[in-house]
Structure 1
Amino acid sequence: MDSDVLTIDTGQRRIIDLTDAVRSFCGPRGDGLCSVFVPHATAGVAIIETGAGSDDDLVDTLENLLPRDGRYRHAHGSPGHGADHVLPALVSPSVTVPVQNGEPLLGTWQSVVLVDLNRDNPQRNVRLSFITG
Protein backbone atom coordinates (compact mmCIF):
# COMPACT_ATOMS: atom_id res chain seq x y z
CA MET A 1 0.00 0.00 0.00
CA ASP A 2 1.26 3.48 -0.89
CA SER A 3 0.35 6.25 1.52
CA ASP A 4 0.91 9.98 1.97
CA VAL A 5 -0.34 12.65 4.38
CA LEU A 6 -1.58 16.10 3.40
CA THR A 7 -1.57 18.91 5.96
CA ILE A 8 -4.54 21.22 5.46
CA ASP A 9 -5.39 24.56 7.09
CA THR A 10 -9.15 24.93 7.56
CA GLY A 11 -8.99 28.24 9.41
CA GLN A 12 -10.56 30.21 6.53
CA ARG A 13 -12.89 27.64 4.95
CA ARG A 14 -15.05 24.83 6.31
CA ILE A 15 -15.00 22.84 3.04
CA ILE A 16 -11.65 22.17 1.35
CA ASP A 17 -11.55 20.61 -2.12
CA LEU A 18 -9.04 17.73 -2.14
CA THR A 19 -9.77 16.50 -5.67
CA ASP A 20 -6.59 17.81 -7.33
CA ALA A 21 -4.45 16.33 -4.55
CA VAL A 22 -6.23 12.98 -4.91
CA ARG A 23 -5.72 13.03 -8.70
CA SER A 24 -2.05 13.90 -8.31
CA PHE A 25 -1.55 11.13 -5.76
CA CYS A 26 -3.31 8.51 -7.93
CA GLY A 27 -1.74 9.55 -11.26
CA PRO A 28 1.35 7.33 -11.33
CA ARG A 29 -0.27 4.37 -9.60
CA GLY A 30 -2.45 2.66 -12.25
CA ASP A 31 -5.55 0.71 -11.24
CA GLY A 32 -6.77 0.29 -7.69
CA LEU A 33 -8.57 2.00 -4.83
CA CYS A 34 -7.73 5.31 -3.21
CA SER A 35 -8.76 5.80 0.41
CA VAL A 36 -9.06 9.37 1.68
CA PHE A 37 -9.10 9.38 5.49
CA VAL A 38 -9.06 12.16 8.07
CA PRO A 39 -7.71 10.88 11.42
CA HIS A 40 -9.56 13.44 13.54
CA ALA A 41 -12.60 13.07 15.81
CA THR A 42 -14.15 16.30 14.53
CA ALA A 43 -13.83 16.25 10.73
CA GLY A 44 -15.02 14.19 7.79
CA VAL A 45 -14.60 13.57 4.08
CA ALA A 46 -17.37 13.75 1.49
CA ILE A 47 -17.94 13.55 -2.25
CA ILE A 48 -20.05 16.51 -3.40
CA GLU A 49 -20.37 19.04 -6.19
CA THR A 50 -18.41 22.20 -5.38
CA GLY A 51 -18.47 25.71 -6.77
CA ALA A 52 -22.21 25.81 -7.50
CA GLY A 53 -23.32 26.53 -3.94
CA SER A 54 -23.46 22.92 -2.72
CA ASP A 55 -20.45 23.39 -0.46
CA ASP A 56 -22.10 26.37 1.30
CA ASP A 57 -25.38 24.44 1.42
CA LEU A 58 -23.60 21.54 3.13
CA VAL A 59 -22.08 23.83 5.77
CA ASP A 60 -25.46 25.51 6.37
CA THR A 61 -27.22 22.15 6.64
CA LEU A 62 -24.67 20.74 9.07
CA GLU A 63 -24.77 23.88 11.20
CA ASN A 64 -28.58 23.61 11.32
CA LEU A 65 -28.41 19.92 12.25
CA LEU A 66 -25.60 20.49 14.76
CA PRO A 67 -26.21 23.89 16.39
CA ARG A 68 -23.35 25.43 18.30
CA ASP A 69 -24.93 25.82 21.71
CA GLY A 70 -24.80 24.36 25.20
CA ARG A 71 -26.83 21.19 24.63
CA TYR A 72 -23.85 18.84 24.30
CA ARG A 73 -22.39 16.71 27.08
CA HIS A 74 -18.99 17.00 25.42
CA ALA A 75 -18.53 20.58 26.57
CA HIS A 76 -14.88 21.66 26.42
CA GLY A 77 -13.48 24.13 23.88
CA SER A 78 -15.46 26.80 22.09
CA PRO A 79 -19.24 27.08 22.62
CA GLY A 80 -21.00 24.16 20.94
CA HIS A 81 -17.77 22.21 20.34
CA GLY A 82 -19.66 19.03 21.19
CA ALA A 83 -21.33 19.38 17.78
CA ASP A 84 -17.92 18.92 16.15
CA HIS A 85 -17.64 15.50 17.78
CA VAL A 86 -21.00 14.42 16.34
CA LEU A 87 -20.07 15.50 12.79
CA PRO A 88 -18.20 12.25 11.85
CA ALA A 89 -21.41 10.29 12.45
CA LEU A 90 -22.99 12.33 9.61
CA VAL A 91 -19.94 12.96 7.40
CA SER A 92 -17.73 9.88 7.38
CA PRO A 93 -14.04 10.23 8.22
CA SER A 94 -13.20 8.39 4.99
CA VAL A 95 -14.20 7.69 1.41
CA THR A 96 -12.82 5.18 -1.08
CA VAL A 97 -12.59 6.04 -4.77
CA PRO A 98 -11.97 3.51 -7.55
CA VAL A 99 -9.03 4.42 -9.80
CA GLN A 100 -8.40 3.29 -13.38
CA ASN A 101 -5.22 4.10 -15.29
CA GLY A 102 -4.27 6.53 -12.52
CA GLU A 103 -7.51 8.51 -12.79
CA PRO A 104 -10.03 8.59 -9.93
CA LEU A 105 -13.37 7.48 -11.36
CA LEU A 106 -15.36 10.43 -10.07
CA GLY A 107 -18.50 11.65 -11.79
CA THR A 108 -18.42 14.85 -13.84
CA TRP A 109 -19.48 17.10 -10.97
CA GLN A 110 -18.04 15.10 -8.06
CA SER A 111 -15.25 16.44 -5.87
CA VAL A 112 -13.60 14.93 -2.82
CA VAL A 113 -13.75 17.42 0.05
CA LEU A 114 -12.62 17.76 3.64
CA VAL A 115 -15.43 18.94 5.93
CA ASP A 116 -14.32 20.66 9.12
CA LEU A 117 -16.66 22.82 11.22
CA ASN A 118 -14.30 22.74 14.23
CA ARG A 119 -13.15 26.26 15.09
CA ASP A 120 -10.73 25.04 17.77
CA ASN A 121 -8.21 23.23 15.54
CA PRO A 122 -7.59 24.53 12.00
CA GLN A 123 -4.69 22.16 11.24
CA ARG A 124 -5.83 18.87 9.74
CA ASN A 125 -4.11 15.83 8.32
CA VAL A 126 -5.62 13.86 5.48
CA ARG A 127 -4.17 10.44 4.70
CA LEU A 128 -4.28 9.25 1.10
CA SER A 129 -3.71 5.51 0.67
CA PHE A 130 -3.58 3.54 -2.58
CA ILE A 131 -4.16 -0.18 -2.90
CA THR A 132 -3.25 -1.59 -6.28
CA GLY A 133 -5.97 -3.74 -7.80
Structure 2
Amino acid sequence: MTRPDFHFIARLTLRTAGRGMSDFTGELRRMLREHGAGDGLVTLFLRHTSASLTIQENADPDVRADLLDALDRLAPQDGPYRHTVEGPDDMPAHIKTVLSGVSLAIPVEAGEPLLGTWQGVYLVEHRARPHRREIVAHFIGSGPKP
Protein backbone atom coordinates (compact mmCIF):
# COMPACT_ATOMS: atom_id res chain seq x y z
CA MET A 1 0.00 0.00 0.00
CA THR A 2 1.33 3.42 -0.90
CA ARG A 3 1.12 6.20 1.63
CA PRO A 4 -0.56 9.50 0.79
CA ASP A 5 2.01 11.92 -0.57
CA PHE A 6 -0.19 14.73 -1.79
CA HIS A 7 -2.72 17.06 -0.26
CA PHE A 8 -4.35 20.42 -0.82
CA ILE A 9 -6.83 22.75 0.81
CA ALA A 10 -9.24 24.69 -1.38
CA ARG A 11 -12.33 26.80 -0.85
CA LEU A 12 -15.62 26.69 -2.70
CA THR A 13 -17.93 29.68 -2.40
CA LEU A 14 -21.61 29.16 -3.13
CA ARG A 15 -24.37 31.73 -3.28
CA THR A 16 -27.74 30.41 -2.20
CA ALA A 17 -31.15 31.69 -3.23
CA GLY A 18 -32.54 31.18 0.27
CA ARG A 19 -34.10 28.04 1.72
CA GLY A 20 -33.27 25.08 -0.48
CA MET A 21 -30.67 22.54 -1.54
CA SER A 22 -27.87 23.53 -3.92
CA ASP A 23 -26.14 20.71 -5.80
CA PHE A 24 -22.42 21.47 -6.01
CA THR A 25 -21.21 18.06 -7.19
CA GLY A 26 -19.96 19.59 -10.46
CA GLU A 27 -17.95 22.26 -8.63
CA LEU A 28 -16.44 19.54 -6.39
CA ARG A 29 -15.45 17.44 -9.42
CA ARG A 30 -13.93 20.49 -11.13
CA MET A 31 -11.93 21.41 -8.01
CA LEU A 32 -10.54 17.86 -7.68
CA ARG A 33 -9.53 17.88 -11.37
CA GLU A 34 -7.95 21.35 -11.23
CA HIS A 35 -5.81 20.42 -8.22
CA GLY A 36 -4.71 17.09 -9.69
CA ALA A 37 -6.32 14.76 -7.14
CA GLY A 38 -5.68 11.05 -7.66
CA ASP A 39 -6.85 8.43 -5.14
CA GLY A 40 -7.66 9.50 -1.61
CA LEU A 41 -10.22 11.23 0.57
CA VAL A 42 -11.77 14.68 0.34
CA THR A 43 -13.19 16.20 3.49
CA LEU A 44 -15.67 19.05 3.11
CA PHE A 45 -16.33 21.51 5.93
CA LEU A 46 -18.98 24.24 5.84
CA ARG A 47 -17.93 27.36 7.76
CA HIS A 48 -21.44 28.32 8.89
CA THR A 49 -23.94 27.41 11.63
CA SER A 50 -27.25 27.96 9.81
CA ALA A 51 -26.65 25.80 6.72
CA SER A 52 -25.45 22.24 6.28
CA LEU A 53 -23.94 19.67 3.91
CA THR A 54 -25.46 16.39 2.79
CA ILE A 55 -25.20 13.67 0.18
CA GLN A 56 -28.63 12.96 -1.24
CA GLU A 57 -30.56 11.72 -4.26
CA ASN A 58 -30.01 13.87 -7.34
CA ALA A 59 -32.68 12.42 -9.64
CA ASP A 60 -36.12 13.31 -8.26
CA PRO A 61 -36.45 16.89 -6.92
CA ASP A 62 -39.43 15.76 -4.83
CA VAL A 63 -36.97 14.00 -2.50
CA ARG A 64 -35.24 17.30 -1.73
CA ALA A 65 -38.55 19.13 -1.26
CA ASP A 66 -39.79 16.42 1.11
CA LEU A 67 -36.53 16.57 3.09
CA LEU A 68 -36.81 20.35 3.48
CA ASP A 69 -40.44 19.97 4.60
CA ALA A 70 -39.44 17.28 7.13
CA LEU A 71 -36.75 19.56 8.58
CA ASP A 72 -39.34 22.34 8.87
CA ARG A 73 -41.59 20.00 10.87
CA LEU A 74 -38.68 19.04 13.16
CA ALA A 75 -37.64 22.67 13.75
CA PRO A 76 -40.64 24.90 13.02
CA GLN A 77 -40.13 28.64 12.58
CA ASP A 78 -42.76 29.45 15.20
CA GLY A 79 -41.13 27.43 17.99
CA PRO A 80 -40.69 28.89 21.47
CA TYR A 81 -37.04 29.93 21.01
CA ARG A 82 -34.96 32.26 23.18
CA HIS A 83 -32.57 33.19 20.35
CA THR A 84 -34.57 35.47 18.05
CA VAL A 85 -32.24 38.45 17.49
CA GLU A 86 -31.42 37.39 13.89
CA GLY A 87 -35.00 36.71 12.84
CA PRO A 88 -37.55 33.93 13.23
CA ASP A 89 -35.76 31.55 10.80
CA ASP A 90 -32.36 31.71 12.54
CA MET A 91 -32.82 29.40 15.53
CA PRO A 92 -34.66 26.77 13.46
CA ALA A 93 -31.72 26.97 11.02
CA HIS A 94 -29.25 26.22 13.83
CA ILE A 95 -31.32 23.22 14.91
CA LYS A 96 -31.48 21.90 11.33
CA THR A 97 -27.70 22.27 11.04
CA VAL A 98 -27.22 20.21 14.21
CA LEU A 99 -29.46 17.51 12.74
CA SER A 100 -27.78 17.41 9.34
CA GLY A 101 -24.14 18.40 9.95
CA VAL A 102 -21.47 20.63 8.45
CA SER A 103 -18.88 18.11 7.23
CA LEU A 104 -18.61 15.20 4.82
CA ALA A 105 -15.85 12.73 3.94
CA ILE A 106 -15.93 11.32 0.41
CA PRO A 107 -13.55 8.73 -1.07
CA VAL A 108 -11.93 9.72 -4.35
CA GLU A 109 -10.57 7.42 -7.07
CA ALA A 110 -8.67 8.69 -10.10
CA GLY A 111 -9.79 12.23 -9.25
CA GLU A 112 -13.52 11.37 -9.11
CA PRO A 113 -15.66 11.32 -5.96
CA LEU A 114 -16.94 7.77 -5.45
CA LEU A 115 -20.60 8.71 -5.24
CA GLY A 116 -23.44 6.32 -5.95
CA THR A 117 -25.43 6.51 -9.17
CA TRP A 118 -28.16 8.71 -7.71
CA GLN A 119 -26.06 10.70 -5.24
CA GLY A 120 -25.21 14.39 -5.36
CA VAL A 121 -23.40 16.64 -2.88
CA TYR A 122 -25.59 19.46 -1.57
CA LEU A 123 -25.36 22.59 0.49
CA VAL A 124 -28.62 22.93 2.42
CA GLU A 125 -29.57 26.54 3.06
CA HIS A 126 -31.80 26.75 6.12
CA ARG A 127 -32.29 30.53 6.11
CA ALA A 128 -35.03 32.28 4.12
CA ARG A 129 -32.85 34.92 2.48
CA PRO A 130 -29.89 34.37 0.11
CA HIS A 131 -26.44 33.87 1.60
CA ARG A 132 -22.84 33.49 0.50
CA ARG A 133 -21.52 30.22 1.95
CA GLU A 134 -17.92 28.97 2.08
CA ILE A 135 -16.92 25.31 2.02
CA VAL A 136 -13.35 24.28 2.81
CA ALA A 137 -12.16 21.14 1.04
CA HIS A 138 -9.13 19.15 2.17
CA PHE A 139 -7.90 16.38 -0.09
CA ILE A 140 -5.29 13.87 1.01
CA GLY A 141 -4.06 11.02 -1.14
CA SER A 142 -2.13 10.64 -4.36
CA GLY A 143 -1.44 13.47 -6.73
CA PRO A 144 -1.18 13.83 -10.47
CA LYS A 145 0.34 10.93 -12.40
CA PRO A 146 3.83 11.70 -13.71
Q: Fold match, TM over 0.5? A: yes
- Between the aligned partners of 2:130 and 2:76, the Cα distance in structure 1 is 18
Q: Please state how far the C-alpha of 1:89 moved relative to its aligned partner.
A: 1.4
Identity %: 36
Match of 1:47 in 2: 55
Q: Contact between 1:78 and 1:119, CA under 8 Å: does it hold in 2?
A: no
Unmatched 5+ residue regions in structure 1? none
Match of 1:105 in 2: 114
Greater radius of gyration (CA): 2
Match of 1:5 in 2: 11
Root-mean-square deviation over aligned CA pairs: 1.6
- Between the aligned partners of 1:50 and 1:66, the Cα distance in structure 2 is 24
Alpha-carbon displacement from aligned partner over 1:69-99 (angstroms, at most 9, x marks no partner): 1411221112242111112211110111000
Partner of residue 34 from structure 1, selected from 26, 29, 42: 42
Q: Contact between 2:55 and 2:122, CA under 8 Å: does it hold in 1?
A: yes
Amino acid at match of 1:4: A
1:74 pairs with 2:80: no
Q: TM-score, normalised by structure 2?
A: 0.83
Amino acid at match of 1:57: D
Provide the secondary structure at the position in 2 that maps to 1:67: coil
1:70–1:64: structure 2 CA closer, same or farther, 3 Å change rule? closer
- Between the aligned partners of 1:128 and 1:40, the Cα distance in structure 2 is 14
Match of 1:64 in 2: 73
Q: Please state how far the C-alpha of 1:12 moved relative to its aligned partner.
A: 4.6
Q: TM-score, normalised by structure 1?
A: 0.91
